[in-house]
Structure 1
């Protein structure tokens, strides 16, 4: 990255620049908004993209653009990202410029529910969605950026699965991260919109602890071929340090 590109990027109050170490990229984050978590890092690593074979790729709920940034390290294809929150979109766009990736990554502010069927269908949809149901109307009245990112206030499970089905070509792939306690809802919704799960990988905080996350690859109208359950990812060892696998994903060690 050149000094001139750094000079053209201005940070707003409470913003900072963090490193995506393995990919040698930088990302703007703010303590006023939901910052990326290990889930986003693991999802980007889980997604299979072609290096040079033409593919259309779109990332739902892109937030500050972490997944498009990470995917740019794996493919030469253009990547789109969309998010409903203008401030996060602005942050993501400045991170794209910071890394001089405007030719490859395009971030748009819009509601996923407003998406229409495109003339050219997509090959890949990725999503790090809100995980939690809004259990009562009182919670919905306290809407913050963090709540929108974590709770199904503006976007439900069915909303984004239905839009992925609308955008994807036959045998196109949907990649996402979610919580295991929603697995029954997820399978029912995927089946409703003609997706079949192809790969499933559980995320465990420590060895011997219950899974608290899962990575899913689903194929649109791809036929039932059986689910591949991959070896689990264990995030921390007994000393609360990243495991060897996590160090490889984060740091390229």
Structure 2
């Protein structure tokens, strides 16, 4: 089968511009955002690590991780079957289906989570918004990705705790206004917060994302990383963002 035969008429192929990797996306509907790319770059991976990505969507975090790191295995867990099917086709397109696999299931299903075994790293870009925050369509795919309809912060952290080996590492991207909830939930499931990085859209704007690293049964010592600014005063990517996206200065022109 030709690689392009894997792509369907209502889909597009997004070039990640990292070591030849691409991701299949719908032309219309939910598409991955910068937050997922930032998380994939924030996570610290070792060569033999086994990874589970929760709320995996179309697999953007696993594919960026695989494009930039040599890891043993990565499994994505996603409740929306259409996204899982797309992610598995993306794995075939990139010829990494021997190392990347996506499972259609509910992370609240503890029996399912336990079948995945213990892993070194768990990543997650969960829904940020509380279920009752505004008018939402409970059946809409975008709403499921953005609101706590199918899972809550507690559900995500509990699943991560079940999956992680002792001293295993947890990486999550979320909103700054949820930081108190995040730390409380992590500690309640024995994932100790170790590092927090705040992300600002630009030099003069307040932070709108946080990246957090935790460790299963880790010691109590929390550090704050240097802040990340996405755009500079001229509306161009900062040097930090250029490094993340493998861009040169003249790519912004």
Q: What per-residue deviation string (whole Å, max 9, x for no partner) do you get for residues 180-239 of structure 1?
A: 000011111111111111111000000131100010100111121x11211111001122
| Counterpart residue number, 1:112 | 107
Cα 1:148–1:119, aligned 2, differ >3 Å: closer, same or farther? closer
| Counterpart residue number, 1:131 | 128
Does residue 229 in structure 1 map to residue 228 in structure 2? no
2:132 & 2:89 partners in 1: Cα distance? 35
Q: Where in structure 2 are the equivalents of 1:232-247 lying within 5 Å?
A: 232-247=227-242
Normalising by structure 2, we get a TM-score of 0.91
CA offset at residue 76 of structure 1? Answer: 3.1
2:116/2:163 contact within 8 Å kept: no
Q: What per-residue deviation string (whole Å, max 9, x for no partner) do you get for residues 151-186 of structure 1?
A: 000100000101111111111111010000000111
| Aligned-partner SS, 1:112 | coil
Cα 1:43–1:237, aligned 2, differ >3 Å: closer, same or farther? same
CA offset at residue 121 of structure 1? Answer: 1.3
| Aligned-partner SS, 1:88 | helix
Say which of 35, 39, 43 aligns to 2:39. Answer: 43
| Aligned-partner SS, 1:75 | coil
| Aligned-partner SS, 1:72 | helix
| Counterpart residue number, 1:10 | 7
| Counterpart residue number, 1:55 | 49
Gaps of 5+ in 2: 249-253
CA offset at residue 34 of structure 1? Answer: 1.5
Does residue 72 in structure 1 map to residue 69 in structure 2? no
Residue-pair matches, total? 245
CA offset at residue 7 of structure 1? Answer: 3.8
Say which of 86, 89, 98 aligns to 2:93. Answer: 98
1:114 & 1:166 partners in 2: Cα distance? 11
| Counterpart residue number, 1:82 | 77
Cα 1:12–1:155, aligned 2, differ >3 Å: closer, same or farther? farther
1:84/1:109 contact within 8 Å kept: yes
Q: What per-residue deviation string (whole Å, max 9, x for no partner) do you get for residues 21-75 of structure 1?
A: 1332111111433211110110000111112xx3221000111111111111202
Gaps of 5+ in 1: none
Cα 1:252–1:22, aligned 2, differ >3 Å: closer, same or farther? farther
1:127 & 1:16 partners in 2: Cα distance? 24
| Aligned-partner SS, 1:96 | helix
Over the residues paired in the alignment, what is the CA RMSD in angstroms? 1.7
1:159 & 1:12 partners in 2: Cα distance? 35
| Aligned-partner SS, 2:166 | strand
2:124 & 2:101 partners in 1: Cα distance? 16
Normalising by structure 1, we get a TM-score of 0.91
